[in-house]
Chain A
């Protein structure tokens, strides 16, 4: 590393860490929406091609059963739902539409989990395709 260059080492990255808040974001590399409400070690429970549920790996008695979820194949789903491919995706509306199109137990579980987050639920994600 050269003098004055940005330091990517573990200590530097963790020292710069922002406070965690429930977060929703679009993972452009894996074309997925990820919603996470706790900063913990996560077990990704794959329910089907489109849905994974996030569960905490270590039951410390403080965390909710479900700590998030991911919706995979977002571009495909936007096509299927005939939604626009730019700008923000409103999660409540997106989940409502998905429940109607794919009324599976996992989809209902995700929609129910999101609804129960109430005011703490992240409202939208910025959709951006990989460059």
Chain B
């Protein structure tokens, strides 16, 4: 479910998402995007990214094929020098892509569905809501970045070199795991 909620006078855009757990079926949580982040995309004129947020990211988090944790790169975030280790990466291969076609006047636009680019998968990077949990108890994580990346040919729906770029794979939909005989494991 995707919804707009109000909390302490602030509007939040939230979506259902799978929460990473070590074993078993992941429970459903709620991820949000900060209004200030959303507005920054609007101010920069990044219409395609906004269209993808509403068409692919928000409705698709609950459908994620894989969840990884930890970016293997130097990253400072949210007052922590270990910001890279805390990030969660949700990936899946959507059934379509979207572009934004603009008309000649403000507000004149069309969201166009496209074939998904071959050999690519979609990632959404989020931060677990730790420091701001008291202020936003209903938010499990903050949505921070989304885009298409190259797909791994071994682990369907995962980014290429997922072993090298992320610290750990937390969850995979069993249907995405294919044995050497080509059958789902």
Partner-B contacts on A (CB < 8 A): 1-2, 5-10, 13-21, 23, 25, 27-31, 36, 39-46, 49-50, 57-58, 72-73, 75-76, 129-131
Contacts and interface: CB of A to CB of B under 8 A. Distances in A.
B91 to A, nearest CB: 13
A20 B46 CA distance: 6
Do most interface residues of chain B lie in helix, strand or loop, or is the interface mixed?
A: mixed
A76 B145 contact: no
Given A8-B13, A20-B44, A41-B114, A57 B148 contact: yes
Nearest to A48: B73
A131 B78 CA distance: 6
Do most interface residues of chain A lie in helix, strand or loop, or is the interface mixed?
A: loop
B100 A14 contact: yes
A18 B45 contact: yes
20 contacts: A5-B6, A7-B11, A8-B4, A13-B38, A16-B42, A19-B45, A20-B46, A20-B47, A21-B45, A27-B144, A29-B37, A29-B78, A29-B144, A30-B75, A41-B98, A41-B99, A41-B114, A45-B150, A76-B74, A129-B79
Interface in B23-78: 35, 37-38, 40-48, 50-52, 54, 71-78
